[in-house]
Chains A and B, each alone.
Chain A
C-alpha cells in the first residue's frame, strides 16, 4: 500500500474528499470556503489543481460529483446553510477561478446542511440534502441543460414533529446504490439510523431501524452491491460511541430486515466517516485518532481490519 501525500494548500480543515465517477479527478472541500478540483498528472506524478474557487460563505462540509451523464457537475453543502451546484466550463482556462460556475444556490434550510448525496443515476439527477434540524429535502433537476431550474420534490422530517437544535442534531444520508431496488436511503439522525422508503402515497417514511447505536450517528454508507448476490445488502455506520458498525439488510420481498453483522471499537475515539469502495468489498473508516482503517470480509464472512493508515507514519500496518 503506497501512499502519496498532497499538499492541498487549503488554509483550514478539509472536511471531504470525493473522486469523480471515473476516479480521475478529486474534489476537496475545506473550512476555508474553497473547493479544489485535482487531476493526477501522469507525466510528473503529482496532483495538479484544475481549479480553486471560493464556493461558500462558511465551512464546506461535503462535496460530491454527479454521474458524468449529467455533465461535470459538483454539489457542495456548507455551514452557511446552502447547497450549491457547480458545473465545469470547459472553455475557461484552468486555475482561473471561473472554471466551475454556480448553477444553483439552494437556500431552503434554516439550519446548516450536513450531508448531501446524489441519487443513483437511474433515478435521474436528484440530490438529497439533510440539514442539522433533521429535515431532508430531495431536489430534482429535470433539465440537465438547465441546472438553474430545480424543484424540491420532497421534504420530510427524519423524526416527525421533533426538530432538533442545530448544535445537538447530526444527520447523515446515503442512497441505496442499487438500481434494482426501489429508491431507498439510510438516514442517520441523532442516535438512530433508519432506512427510508416511499410508502404507497409516495411519501418517504422511516421503516427499519439499525439497532445498537448508543450515541450520535456521524456517518452512514450504503454499500454498492456490485456483484454481490441479491440476497443481502450492507450498510456501515460511524458513531460518536466510537463504533464502526456493519449491518446486513435482507429482504423477503415484503419487508427488509436489518441485522447487526459486526461492530468494531478499534478507533477508540469518535468515528466520523465510513465509506465503501466502489465494489462494496472494502470499508474504510476514519475518526479522531487520525487513522483510516480498512475492513474486509474474510472467507468465512467475518469482517476484519485489513490495514491501518495512520497520521504519523502514513504507512500501512497490514494485519491480515
Chain B
C-alpha cells in the first residue's frame, strides 16, 4: 500500500523514548467521555500531560498542493485534501503510512478541494470533502479502502468550510462563498435540513461549539463573526464586528467560552463569547493575514496560527504575551494551509508545498525569544549611555521552569518583559569645560607664546589644570629664549601666581626620583579628565591659597612622562637648552590622540602649525573629527572658526559647500541665470527684479518691504514715503504703516 516514491520519513539521530501510555492512548478508541474531545482535542492528553512520547519529525510528500487536513476521532489517521488529491494516512510513532487514495474521476479531476473533515460518532468512518466548484463528497473509509458514499451537488456554489457536529456527528455545516450556511442531517440524503442566512458576504469559516451541539460560530468576509443557535435559524444570536477586513477563521476554545478569530487585518482576536463586550479580551498582532487558528490542547493560553500569504511559518502564541510568539515551526517551504494539534505537543500540518508534516513542539519548534536580543545600548556624544537591560538569565531560568515542563525539558517562556531602561551619565566627559575651551581657545595667531599663555589661562579657568600645564610646557618648549627670560614672560602675565605655581610644580616634579614618577603613573592610569574632576574649583581669589596644596599633590605623571627626561637632561647639562621639540611634541600629540582628546590635538596643531612635523593625513583626520564633534555639540561658531583657520584645502572647502542661493523671477517664475544682465533683470520677461517702488530702480544694498503687501524699495525712499503717507506707494491699496 505504501508508495515509496511519495513516502518520506525523517528520524532524528537520537531516538526518543516512547512511553507506554502513549501507545495505549493513540491506538485506543474514540474518546467520547470528555466534552473537549472534538476537532483534534483529545481527552487522553489531559491525563498524560508532559508524559507523551516525543514524536519524530515526519514529512510526507504528495503530488499536488494541499489545502486542508482533518484527523480521525481516535487521532490515528489523518485525511489530507488538495488540488486533485484526497488521501488518508495512518500516523503512529513508527511513521506515516498511506491508507486510502480516494479518487473519483468524474468530480475529482477538475476540482480543488477546499476543505476536508473527518466525522465522529455516527460519522466516524466518514470523510467529507468540499470543493471550490460546488460538490461535497462523502466517503466511507470504514473498511480501510475508501468508498464514495454520496455526492452533494450544490450547483457550482463554492464551499469554503465544512464542519461536523462534535456530539453526534450527524449534523454537518457547510459555509458557502455566497454567504449562506447549510446544515445537513446525514441521514437525509436529499436536501439540507436548515439554511442560515447571515446576510453578509462570503462565509469563510464555520465551527460547532465544542460541547453544545446547538451552537455554532461563523466568520464572514466583511469581518463579522456570528454566533448562531440551530434552534433559531432565522437570525444569529450574536454578532461581532471582529475584523477590519475579511475574517478568515474562527476557533472555539475547548472551554467553550472563548473564541479566537483571525483575519486579513493581521490580528488574532480573542473574544469572550458570553459577555456583552464588543471588544476582544486579547489580541495578537501577526506578521501577515491569519488563515487558520487553533487552540493548543491543555495549554489554556496558547494558540497556533498560520498565515494566509507570504509566511511559511506556523506560530504558537501565548495570548498573555501577544507580541512575541512562544514558538514557531519553520518546516514548510510554502504557505501552510491546514494545522491540527494531534495532542498538546504534536502538530500536524499540510501546505501548498505538497507536504504533510508531523512536528513536535519539544523538538522541532524554535522559540522566537531565543532569536531576539534582550538588551540595547547606545552612546551619545556627551558620553551618556542609554541602556535597556533584561533581568539576568540565571534568575529567569529558575522562574521559567515550571514543574510540569521541566520533565519534558521545555522552558516556559516568560510572559512579561522585565527590562529596565535608563540613561547613565558618565563623569568622564565634561561638556561644560569642552565647550568653554572650544569657544575661548585662541587658534590662529603669529604669537605662539602669547597664545599658549592665553590657552593655558583658558584651560585653567575650565578647571583643566593638566591641560593648562601642558600649554605652559608647550610655551616653554617653543620659547627660543633662556629659562630666565621665560620666567620673566610668565611673571609679566596677568595670572602670574598661577604661572609661577605651575612653573614651580614643573620643577618640583622634575626633581622627583624616577621610580616615584612611574608609580604615580600607574596609580593614575585612568583618563585625564576623571582625575581632574576631583580637583576643586579654583577661583581667582583663593588661587594663591590653593597654591600650597596644589604643589603637594602627586605629580601629574603624563606630563612628566613626556618631558621629564628632556628637562632633566637640560638641567643636568646646565647649558642653554637646545630644545628638541619634535619628539616630545609628537609624543604629546600621540598621548592626547590616544585619550580621544582631539580638541587638544587640533588646537595644538593649529597654534603651532608648521613648527610641528605631523603627518598631514593625521592632522586632517583630527580636524575632521574635531569638527564633527563640535557639530554634534551644536557648537557651530567654533566649528566654523576651525574650518576658516585651517590651511588644509579639503577642510577649507567645507565652508564653500552649499553657498549657492537659487533665485527665480518674481514676475514669470523662471529661474534667474546669471547672464550679461547679472541677477537684476529677468532674461525671459525683461523686467527688473524687485525694483524700488518709488524710484523704480534696482535696489542694491538694503531693501525694505512691507510684510503685508510685499512691496518695498530703498530703505531711504520708503522712510521718506511713510513719514507722510500710510498707504503703499505702489497704489495696491494696502495700508502698510
Contacts and interface: CB of A to CB of B under 8 A. Distances in A.
Contacts of A80: 287
Contact of B593 (A28, A227, A314): A227
Contacts of A23: 380-382, 384, 632
Interface stretch (B364-372, B475-483, B535-543, B573-581): B364-372
A230 B621 contact: yes
B697 interface: no
Interface stretch (B238-246, B453-461, B595-603): B595-603
B386 interface: yes
B372 A17 contact: no
A10 B374 CA distance: 13
Contacts of B372: 13, 15, 31, 59, 61, 79
B8 interface: no
B323 A33 contact: yes
Contact of B632 (A1, A21, A270, A320): A21
A225 B598 CA distance: 10
Contacts of B427: 1
A28 B629 contact: no
Contact of A289 (B376, B393, B622): B393
Interface in B420-465: 420-428
Contact of B321 (A12, A33, A320): A12
B186 to A, nearest CB: 42
Given A17-B386, A23-B380, A290-B389, A218 B527 contact: no
Given A289-B392, A290-B389, A290-B390, A228 B425 contact: no
Contacts of A2: 424-425
A148 to B, nearest CB: 22
Contact of B394 (A28, A58, A289, A298): A289
Contact of A32 (B323, B633, B634): B323
Which size class do A's interface residues fall under?
Answer: 35 or more
A22 B381 CA distance: 7
Contacts of A182: none
A167 interface: yes
B629 A226 contact: yes
**Chain A interface helix/strand/loop/mixed:** loop
Given A229-B618, A298-B525, A15 B379 contact: no
Interface stretch (A191-199, A255-263, A276-284): A276-284
B391 interface: yes
B385 A284 contact: yes
Interface string B349-382: 0000000000000000010110111111111111
Interface in B591-634: 592-598, 601, 615, 617-618, 620-622, 624-626, 628-629, 631-634
A79 B287 contact: yes
Contacts of B321: 12
Interface string A52-86: 00000111010000000000000000011100000
A279 B389 CA distance: 23
A47 B422 CA distance: 10
Nearest to B426: A1
A3 interface: yes
A48 interface: no
A57 B383 contact: no
A311 B392 contact: yes
B330 interface: yes
B559 interface: no
B285 interface: yes
Interface in A1-54: 1-8, 10-24, 26, 28, 30-33, 47
A298 B321 CA distance: 45
B596 A311 contact: no
A62 B612 CA distance: 44
A216 to B, nearest CB: 11
A312 B420 CA distance: 9
Contacts of A17: 376-378, 386-388, 421
Contacts of A117: none
B418 to A, nearest CB: 9
A140 interface: no
A312 B418 CA distance: 11
B582 to A, nearest CB: 16
B255 interface: no
Interface in B625-650: 625-626, 628-629, 631-634
Contacts of B597: 227
B521 interface: yes
Interface in A219-275: 219, 224-230, 269-270, 272-273, 275
A6 B384 CA distance: 14
Given A5-B421, A10-B417, A290-B389, A59 B376 contact: no
Contact of A275 (B287, B288, B377, B419): B377
A283 to B, nearest CB: 10
A166 interface: yes
A131 interface: no
A275 B379 contact: yes
B162 interface: no
A3 B624 CA distance: 32
A38 B104 CA distance: 65
A273 B380 contact: no
Contact of A276 (B379, B381, B423): B379
B368 A59 contact: yes
B385 A292 contact: yes
B324 interface: yes
The interface centre, meaning the residue of B387, B390, B597 with most chain A CB atoms within 10 A of its CB, is B387
Contacts of A79: 287, 368, 371-372
Contacts of A309: 385, 387, 389, 424
B590 interface: yes
A235 to B, nearest CB: 16
B592 A314 contact: no
Interface string B472-502: 0000000000000000000000000000000
The interface centre, meaning the residue of A179, A229, A300 with most chain B CB atoms within 10 A of its CB, is A229
A76 to B, nearest CB: 13
A266 to B, nearest CB: 14
Given A23-B382, A314-B422, A225 B373 contact: no
Nearest to A167: B366
A134 interface: no
B374 A288 contact: yes
B286 interface: yes
Given A22-B380, A59-B368, A277-B383, 5 more contacts: A1-B426, A20-B380, A28-B388, A230-B621, A290-B375
- 6 shortest A-B CB distances, which residue pairs? A23-B380, A279-B596, A288-B393, A5-B422, A19-B380, A290-B392
8 contacts: A14-B388, A58-B286, A167-B330, A227-B597, A273-B375, A287-B375, A289-B392, A290-B389
